[in-house]
Amino acid sequence: MQPTHDTTTLITPVQPNISVIKRDGTTAPLNIKRIRDVVLWACEGFEVNSVALESGLKTRLRHGVTTREIQDNLINCALEMCSPEEPDWRYVAGRLHIWSLWKDTLVARHYQYDNYPQTVNVQITANAYDDRILTYTPDELAQAGNWINPDYDLDYDYAGAVMLTKRYLLPNELPQEALLTCALLIASVEEHHNRMVWARRIYEAIASRKISLATPILANLRVPGGSLASCFITAMEDNLESIFHEITNTARISKGGGGVGMNVSRIRATGSRVMGKENASGGVLPWVKLLNDTAIAVNQGGRRAGAVTVSLDIWHLDIPEFLECQTENGDVRRKAYDVFPQIVIVDEFMQRVKTKQDWTLVDPYEVNRVLGFELAELWGDRFDSAYAEVEQACEDGRLKLFHRVNARELFKEAMRTQVETGLPYMSFKDTINRLNPNKHEGYIPATNLCVESFSNVKPGKLAHTCNLVSLNLANIDDDLAHHCETSVRILDNTIDLTNAPFDASGAHNDRYRTIGVGAMGLADWLAKRRLKYGDRTEISTLFENMGYHCTRYSMELAQERGAYPAFEGSEWSRGNVLGGRDLDWINANATQPERWHQLARDIQTHGIRNSHVTAIAPNTSSSLVQGCTASILPTYSKFYYDKWAKGVVPIAPPFISDRFWFYTENKVMDQRIVVDAVATIQQWIDTGISMELLFNLNEGVYHDGVLTAKDIYETLVHAWEQGCKAIYYIRTVQKDNYKESDTCVACAN
């Protein structure tokens, strides 16, 4: 685990003229041999020259230097030497950071990894650990402590080590203790005779970085009263009671660190009638502003500002102003710079975009009052029929408050805003709802904050709630099925462990038991196999296997624990799989259709435990901890520096040393290739995928010259045509900041 020091065989003398201040405050002569041992240990197994690191340190030694300064200087030296030619220095810096953590912990509590039961008792006494960990006996805790492998701490590069220690660890807690405690708590809901077996299996999976727990689980599971869900969606009805109730729910979600999706499409438009008075409504923007300020005020316990995506349907009269809510011009009182706007797009609109037809923007309150239906609740053929009636009512004068625009010009205005700000997100409502397994009970109004997770929402009654993990494809080889099973069980258990932040969230958990097993490190998986993003057959097979194994195990859990309560009448109960794919589709697209046929029969017989099973999140920060590329997207660059608070940090994929040429850089990739890869994956994912698109605006990057607005337009339309359910951020590499060594500042979440 750590270097040993045999003082009887020192070959380099102690430096009597230089004293160092140790971490406990005492002083001692500088011992070069100890520094050399640490350097050799940190460099072991990497293609680096340890002498170069030691030499870089010597000029920084002085009388009265602290051992912490020495360690920090070693880390800085390693980071300075990191380059595309010698990327392993980032792992050396990561080990040195972990070494410092070990030493700080030893000074603070006088032991490291050799007394896990004592760690539990200390953290319980400090009210830092949830006391549900005490469901395990002292002997079981001691047994679990023996599973800890400190060498897992040595696998992190510097970015991952810092992210793990600064964001996720509690005071005087070591990484493996945090992961083991999470594993034990997740397994605590198991039958008594099985819980230690499952606890060890879960610990091994997350400690070896084959499964990544989402931030709310890793950060909140150990602490009392933590909310474990990552994703929430709720909606406002068009009355003050509902509006302020949902703003309060937004605050509750934000307090626990969850991301909020808020649909405001029912809210009456600017100029609509209020209490019988014409032209009295201020529209949706004042309420969006309140959501914006709530996100700032309830800042996740001081860790970071709350995160809220506010969604509005594309037919709403306030859409043009909504698209301008983050621009610099206009009334500042109607701006919302800290939320993430999202437009909800139906197929009829996209058809008119393609044919340059007019589109009619209307007030939902007037539509409901005059025509008797809530337009926000409709999708597909029912929307098309209702919208035709709406437009006829505008023609014959029954509806007074409307505005006609050219559909393509409105889409281009959204696109212009995306290029400038990265937003709005786009969610394709009809595509999402066609593959909604629970359309027998309702509809999906929009997506969550990261556009990958969604299910039925009923204002005031059901708020979409979902827990997430991700498979780390960089570290998974022949054990995909094993870790799919472990992931589904982890997430189903967390539903029983979480503290829902409000009643509608708890009701959704009880009725749908929605989970999202995702993936990260696809770029690494491809590079290991000398494949590219154009190899869609191999990509499809990988995600078919993932979708199959996750779905199959949710069915097996239903045999053990029962199906989710809304199962009867769902697409699953009708013999369709993956949220609504029928067996004819399976026959045409699956590599092994017969196993899907059997699974469909088994689900009809036994049910399925979770209404939604798979969803691929962006996992931008958690992928740093996992040491892999984020999500299923290409890496931005093979090597770059990210700007952090304390300077710049080198970022590179894990296999860059021996697979350099098989990493395709997103900053120079035609995004239609990305769209096609995501569309291929989406076939096997029953919920959604966080698909960012990155456009390089510099000349000569793409083979056909400078990227144009037409290229971006065609890529976005292509995403809809190919069946992508949503578009997350639009990122651009601007003409004045394109350098090989630059950080992708615009790509930071």
Active-site residue identified among 43, 231, 450, 550: 450
Count other Cβ atoms within 10 Å, centred on residue 714.
13
Q: What are phi and psi of 731, to 5 degrees?
A: -105, 150
Closest CA to 485 of 560, 536, 575: 560
Structural element, H or E, at residue 745? none
Interatomic CA distance for residues 109 and 107, integer angstroms: 6
Interatomic CA distance for residues 566 and 528, integer angstroms: 42
Token duo for residue 337: 């710079």
Token look-up 């860790």 returns 303
Closest CA to 50 of 34, 61, 60, 36: 36
Interatomic CA distance for residues 375 and 367, integer angstroms: 8
Interatomic CA distance for residues 542 and 576, integer angstroms: 21
DSSP state of 330: S
450 in catalytic set = yes
- On the question of a cis peptide bond just before residue 13, with omega within 30 degrees of 0, the verdict is no
The number of C-alpha atoms within 13 Å of 275 and in the hemisphere containing its C-beta is 2
Count other Cβ atoms within 10 Å, centred on residue 736.
7
Closest CA to 204 of 475, 402, 22: 475
Active-site residue identified among 220, 433, 448, 456: 448
Token look-up 């909604």 returns 436
737 in catalytic set = no
336 CA to centre of own chain: 23
Coil, helix or strand for 408? Answer: helix
Token duo for residue 432: 């999402």
Token duo for residue 493: 């258990």
Instruction: Please answer whether residues 34 and 118 qualify as being in contact, where contact means their C-beta atoms are separated by less than 8 angstroms.
Output: no
Interatomic CA distance for residues 530 and 301, integer angstroms: 44
452 in catalytic set = yes
Active-site residue identified among 54, 177, 348, 452: 452
Token look-up 């000569």 returns 700
Token duo for residue 461: 């009654």
Count other Cβ atoms within 10 Å, centred on residue 571.
22
Catalytic residues: 448, 450, 452
